[in-house]
Structure 1
Amino acid sequence: MSRVLLTGASGFIASHVLELLLQRGYSVRFTVRSEEKAQRLLEAHKQYKDKLDYVLVKDIAQPGAFDEAVKSDPPFTGILNVASPFHLNVTDPKTELIDPAVNGTLGILGATKAFASTVRRIVITSSSAAIVDPNKPNNGAGYTYTENDWNPITLEEGLLNPSNGYRASKKLAEKAAWDFVEQERPNFDIATINPPLVLGPVKPYVSSLSSLNTSNERVLDFIQGKAKNGAPPSGVYIWVDVRDLALSHILALENLEAGGKRFFITEGYFSNQKIIDVIRENFPQFVAGLPEEDQPNGGYPQGLYKADNSRSKQLLGLTYRGLGVSVTDLVKSLVELGAGR
């Protein structure tokens, strides 16, 4: 039985990763920031209590934060590093976004090299923000992004505002990981997972309507009638379902050929208008709160880049759920949490 460490297990993405790991027979240690979150996860997965334990890591950016977490008997063979901040409600991008992302990534890599010699692979959750350059003219129309692309954003540009800070944190943290492996020559290799906006059902034991992840919050706004006067701009136009994203982490852990590679994990295009269309078709109780007028061109800009996800399909064997399935399942989960009451 393989034993793995999963960081940030109470997050939206990691909660799905944890469920899949347990279903596939792994023994899992997870990290969370608080005892309350740990107990919620243990209670939700009590049928796996013999395969589940945890370590509290209250601040991933602190030196030595993961030193104890990576020590295990029986030892770990792999690590899934999903913990990283994603929110834009910040006043200091460096201390609140960039430093935690970079230091947390280097912390888990350094601790593994020092204290977990049996680990053979670490899968790191990065982001399409480390790939896509939002400043390309005409939304990058005519350009196809692949895993070979890097967002050219610099640290200095990342300090200018929270949006830049998030993009820089993802790019700089992932770069730091690749540099670490090249320079330190550890006992393990890495693979990075680079998703765009993530949609899909939330787990009730890690989420509430007041603490949704940023991506799903827009869908809650639609069903609560907060965009009745018109949908806001989508911001980004590529997406993935959280369940497919979770599976991609595990496939990257299991596939020998995935080591040393990045994976652009995306189903394809979406827009806020397309999300509204799904809600309108499947949830008549929310139609009155939706915008009365549709956005032109399906909510898409006139020009738009393409995203090549062929590596994830060919090497990992990943298949992708469509937007209709993802949004429908998401809205159902939000209703279970009390939305619309």
Structure 2
Amino acid sequence: MSSEKQTVFLSGATGYIAQHIVKQLLDSKKFKIIGSVRSEDKANALAKNFNNNPDLSFVYVKDVSDPVAFDEAFKEHGSKLDYVIHSASPFHFDVSDVNEDLIVPAKVGSAGIFKASVKYAPNLKHFVVTSSYAAIMDILKETDNTYHLNEKSWNPMPFEQAVTNPLFGYCYSKKVAEQTVWDLSKELNAKFNITAVNPVYVFGPQCFDSSVTKVLNTSCEIVNKFVHSTPETEVDESIKGSYIDVRDIARAHIEPLLDSDKFNGKRLLMDGGRFGNQAIVDVLNTIPQLKGKIAVGTPHRDDNITKDLAVIDNTETKKLLDFEFINLEKTIKDTALQVLKVEGRL
């Protein structure tokens, strides 16, 4: 790579994962970043957190599900873009029509930024899309320990079943969003390389303490609720899944920019191992400020949880990335300790 900094367009720059991507890109001192945000206030707050770094600038994209949402920004900046990281994605279950509120926007949003990249960014080298484990897994077989998954697996649920409830619809929408990118790359004969990053539940600290609010983003809120639990709080078994640390996710988005051909056409299945609610509580109870004050449940109930769940093989991802993933203990502790620090409880 030449000494001149290369330019990355990052959609949804204020997101939980995206802020960590910005931090790592800036820390490398190899990149300039143009981040898309929904409002000037959000841009100003983020710029301030990064000490108004001159390598970070912003464009305004109000609705990522608008088919031409990115066109103006790409017309203006496309000629100088080396990379695109598409991390913006609507995430909510407050829907009245699963197809119209979840599936259609996911497809349109991915198509919009990809088409803009092909049309207006002639020097683009690599397009990284933040996908999800939801695009890979079979939600109906998550508790089937004979079911095996890897980087080539796709969520098999048919559309007719997906529209029956918001959770199915959300999982299906993640598949559609990612598949749209792969399909368009062939259809439009894209000249740049492509990588998808497929995370499971993402834990770890917010990039800045100022982002610690009463309610955190979806995954971290699982930890936050137990940080604010009482010894009487029940530790239910409703959450069983896989974890990954946000700092590892951010790094997985950046590695393809550093070695484009190696990561071309790859899906990175970002899974650090299985966990349940009890495993989270067990870790939290090792923090002196919490021990005896929060839920206890049945200690070590989740120690062998892996044998009860579908088998995830992400050997190829780990080989490609070639770095150790942060373990469950560290990711949960770092999430909780930041909350305690902000609340003045350390």
Q: TM-score range by the shorter chain?
A: over 0.9
- Say which of 240, 243, 247 aligns to 2:244: 240
Query: 1:257, 1:288 → 2: CA distance?
Result: 48
Contact preservation (8 Å) 1:12, 1:206: no
- Which of 2, 13, 21 is the equivalent residue of 2:17? 13
Deviation at 1:139? Answer: 1.5
Q: Distance in 2 between matches of 1:88 and 1:226?
A: 28
What's 2:56 paired with?
52
- CA offset at residue 232 of structure 1? 2.5
In 2, the alpha carbon distance for the partners of 1:90 and 1:339 equals 37
Aligned partner of 2:184 among 162, 167, 180 = 180
Structure 2 contact 285–294 (Cα < 8 Å) conserved: no
**More off after superposition, 174-183 vs 303-312:** 303-312
Residues 210 and 234 from structure 1, CA distance in 2 versus in 1: closer, same or farther, beyond 3 angstroms? same
Shift of 1:209: 2.3
Aligned partner of 2:314 in structure 1 is 309
**Separation (CA, whole Å) in 1 of partners of 2:314 and 2:297:** 34
Separation in 1 of the partners of 2:42 and 2:210?
8
Residue 269 of structure 2, aligned match among 261, 264, 271: 264
Separation (CA, whole Å) in 2 of partners of 1:47 and 1:273: 41
Is 2:239–2:277's contact at 8 Å kept on the other side of the alignment? no
1:27 to 32, 36, 39: 32
Gaps of 5+ in 2: none
TM-score normalised by length of structure 2: 0.91
The amino acid across from 2:172 in the alignment is A
1:125-167 Cα deviation digits (max 9, x unpaired): 000111110212x713133311111011222222211111110
Aligned residues: 339
Map 1:92-103 → 2, pairs under 5 A: 92-103=97-108
Given that 2:21 and 2:251 are in contact with CA atoms closer than 8 Å, whether structure 1 keeps it comes out as: yes
Residue 162 of structure 1 pairs with residue 166 of structure 2: yes
Query: Quick one: which amino acid aligns to residue 289 of structure 2?
Result: P
CA offset at residue 181 of structure 1? 0.7
2:156 matched to which residue of 1? 152
Give the distance between the partners of 1:122 and 1:40, measured in 2 at CA. 27
Gaps of 5+ in 1: none
> Is the partner of 1:187 in helix, strand or coil?
coil
For 1:209, the aligned partner's letter is T
RMSD over aligned CA atoms reads 2.2
- Residue 272 of structure 1: how far off its partner (Å): 1.2
Q: How far 1:75 moved relative to its partner?
A: 0.2
So what's the TM-score if we normalise by structure 1? 0.93
Percent identical residues: 33
Out of 302-311 and 323-332, give the one that drifted further.
302-311
CA separation of 1:162/1:54 partners in 2, compared to 1, >3 Å: closer, same or farther?
Answer: same
Superposition pairs of residues 269-288 of structure 1, within 5 angstroms: 269-285=274-290, 287-288=292-293
Q: Which residue of 1 aligns with 2:131?
A: 126
Match of 1:3 among 4, 7, 19: 7
- 1:219 paired residue number: 223
**2: CA distance between counterparts of 1:57 and 1:118?**
22
Deviates more, 1:238-247 or 1:84-93: 84-93
